[in-house]
């Protein structure tokens, strides 16, 4: 039997996003958050992460202990209770007249890394455990959430089923070979047979890796459920230290049975527009802040290096324009005859059919030539993966890439090769053993159908939507060569 106890009624916390909306003026509220600044021993700027906006808590310092007020430092966590009133000062519509103040967690002002000044992005990457408290990264991570939510909502509303593809795999979907090995062997003394490591004694009885893609498993699911998508972590062991590469990132990969390459284009275009419109509608404050930040950052750049479109303009550019669709062959003709190519302004000159397009070529097509997002399709078979469907010309495959302003390729997809004998031939050309992929080949033996899908790097999309310049700044804890902190 429980002892009878008396609990004092307590005021529930109100999120700052709700407090500053205006409908709570005249109410007594409790706000909890982290101190951004404390000015004139009177004005506490508090943020709790629910919005990019701070709330100003006004203290009558004569009514509070001086020792308590000394503890109100940048980074400290506080609980503030008081009356929400219209603000007479500039910069905020409402403020909290403090009646009760409590420091929940102190922050040494001499040691806290994030002082109220401008910090470089590199410095903030080194302090990734704290950087979400800055305006820039709180905005980025709120938008990241909104993008993820919109992705799931779009596919759910369109009748897709969410599939969890395995993270540990025995196959290499891209044939890239740049994979992280998974083992429970003693790395200094692994079991060997005939001088080679004996993987039959490993945990899974074979050589396994972290996945580079959930596509192949998504194909299996689509050939039973018709419309599926994966959204999970993927891994590439590329020793690449660029602003576009991560060793660990997230991928969205829808797969649709009974869909050809044209259906695939329609799906990808509608999906991207939906997600971007969702963010434009629900993340206005964060987008406006990031737009101003980008404008400020680009002021110091030569005019040729500045973005042609402001951040919100670039999002509207994608969401409001029909995507131009043209073949790889048509694109090569345009690029070969373009001024930058003829005047040798491209770093990689286009002189013959079969060239693998670079970001500079993709951006030229989008930003200069068409001034619209572009879908390229029917690529040379030599530069695309084994599972892409061979076209009747035996030179090209039914592959597609979607190109965006400022970033180039954002989506890669294809109609999959559903014909068993053609698929076997392609696998032989790519040196992919049939016995390792027997399960994949089975789907072409038992009720094969035309099917298509695409892959979208989640961080690449968030990079475009936030206007950030480095993919390491749109994932909370980036994994890159020689870096696995936090």
Residues paired with residue 264 on neighbouring β-strands, in sequence order: none
The model carries a pTM of 0.93
* CB-based contact 454:107 (threshold 8 Å): no
Residue with the bigger pLDDT between 297 and 222: it is 222
Dist CA 155 CA 151 (whole Å): 6
**Domains in the chain: boundaries:** 16-105, 133-176+212-473
5, pLDDT greater than 90: no
* CB-based contact 67:35 (threshold 8 Å): no
* CB-based contact 307:322 (threshold 8 Å): no
For residue 2, what is the enclosing H or E element? Answer: none
Q: Taking all residues of the chain, what is their mean pLDDT, rounded to a whole number?
A: 93
Dist CA 349 CA 335 (whole Å): 9
Give the tokens for residue 173. Answer: 């979907």
CATH of 133-176+212-473, one of 3.30.1330.10, 2.40.50.840, 3.30.930.10, 3.90.1300.10: 3.30.930.10
Let me know if the fold of 16-105 is the same as that of 133-176+212-473.
no
DSSP 324: E
Task: Work out the number of other CB atoms within 10 angstroms of the CB of residue 239.
Answer: 10
What is the layout of strands, in order, in the sheet containing 208-210? Answer: 168-169, 208-210, 181-182
Place of tokens 């909890």: 32
Percent of the chain surpassing pLDDT 70: 97
pLDDT at residue 89 in the model:
80
- Which residue blocks in 186-235 are alpha helix, DSSP H? 215-225
DSSP 4: P
pLDDT at residue 43 in the model:
96
12, pLDDT greater than 60: yes
Region 245-267: what's the mean pLDDT? 97
* CB-based contact 411:453 (threshold 8 Å): no
Q: Is beta strand 43-47 parallel, antiparallel or unpaired with respect to 55-58?
A: antiparallel
CATH architecture entry for 16-105: Beta Barrel (2.40)
Q: What is the pLDDT of residues 154-189, one digit of tens each?
A: 999 999 999 999 999 987 655 555 899 999 999 999
Q: What is the pLDDT of residues 406-427, one digit of tens each?
A: 889 999 999 999 999 999 999 9
Dist CA 486 CA 477 (whole Å): 7
197, pLDDT greater than 70: yes
pLDDT at residue 173 in the model:
59
Dist CA 150 CA 152 (whole Å): 6
């Amino acid at each position: 039997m429980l002892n009878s106890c008396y609990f004092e009624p307590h005021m529930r916390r109100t999120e700052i996003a709700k407090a500053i909306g205006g409908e709570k003026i005249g109410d007594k509220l409790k706000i909890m958050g982290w101190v951004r600044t404390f000015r004139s021993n009177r004005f506490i700027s508090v943020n709790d992460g629910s919005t990019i906006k701070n709330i100003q808590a006004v203290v009558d310092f004569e009514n509070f202990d001086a020792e308590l007020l000394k503890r109100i430092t940048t980074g400290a966590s506080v609980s503030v209770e008081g009356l929400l009133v219209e603000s007479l000062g500039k910069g905020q519509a409402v403020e909290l007249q403090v009646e009760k103040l409590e420091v929940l967690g102190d922050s040494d002002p001499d040691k806290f890394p994030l002082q109220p000044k401008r910090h470089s992005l590199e410095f903030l990457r080194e302090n990734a455990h704290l950087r979400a408290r800055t305006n820039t990264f709180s905005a980025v991570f709120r938008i990241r959430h909104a993008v993820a939510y919109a992705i799931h909502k779009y596919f759910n509303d369109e009748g897709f089923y969410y599939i969890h593809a395995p993270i540990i795999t025995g196959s290499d979907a891209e044939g890239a070979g740049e994979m992280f090995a998974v083992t429970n062997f003693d790395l200094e003394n692994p079991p060997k047979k005939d001088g080679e490591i004996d993987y039959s004694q490993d945990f899974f009885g074979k050589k396994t890796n972290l996945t580079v893609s959930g596509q192949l498993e998504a194909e299996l699911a689509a050939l039973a459920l018709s419309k599926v998508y994966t959204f999970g972590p993927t891994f590439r062991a590329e020793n690449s230290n660029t602003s576009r590469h991560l060793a660990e990132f997230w991928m969205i990969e829808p797969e649709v049975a009974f869909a050809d390459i044209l259906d695939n284009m329609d799906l990808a275009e509608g999906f991207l527009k939906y997600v971007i419109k969702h963010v434009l509608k629900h993340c206005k404050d964060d987008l406006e802040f990031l737009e101003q930040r980008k404008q400020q950052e680009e002021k110091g750049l030569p005019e040729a290096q500045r973005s042609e479109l402001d951040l919100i303009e670039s999002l509207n550019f994608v969401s409001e324009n029909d995507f131009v669709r043209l073949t790889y062959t048509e694109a090569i003709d345009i690029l070969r005859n373009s001024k930058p190519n003829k005047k040798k302004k491209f770093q990689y000159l286009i002189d013959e059919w079969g060239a693998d397009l670079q970001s500079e070529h993709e951006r030229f097509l989008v930003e200069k030539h068409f001034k619209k997002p572009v879908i390229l399709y029917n690529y040379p078979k030599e530069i695309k993966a084994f599972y892409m469907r061979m076209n009747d010309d035996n030179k090209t495959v039914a592959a597609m890439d979607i190109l965006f302003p400022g970033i180039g390729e954002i989506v890669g997809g294809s109609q999959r090769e559903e014909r068993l004998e053609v698929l076997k031939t392609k696998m032989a050309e790519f040196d992919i053993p049939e016995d390792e992929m027997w399960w994949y080949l089975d789907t072409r033996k038992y009720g094969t159908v035309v099917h298509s899908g695409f892959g979208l790097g989640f961080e690449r999309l968030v990079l475009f939507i936030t206007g950030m310049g480095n993919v390491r700044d749109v994932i909370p804890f980036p994994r890159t060569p020689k870096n696995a902190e936090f």
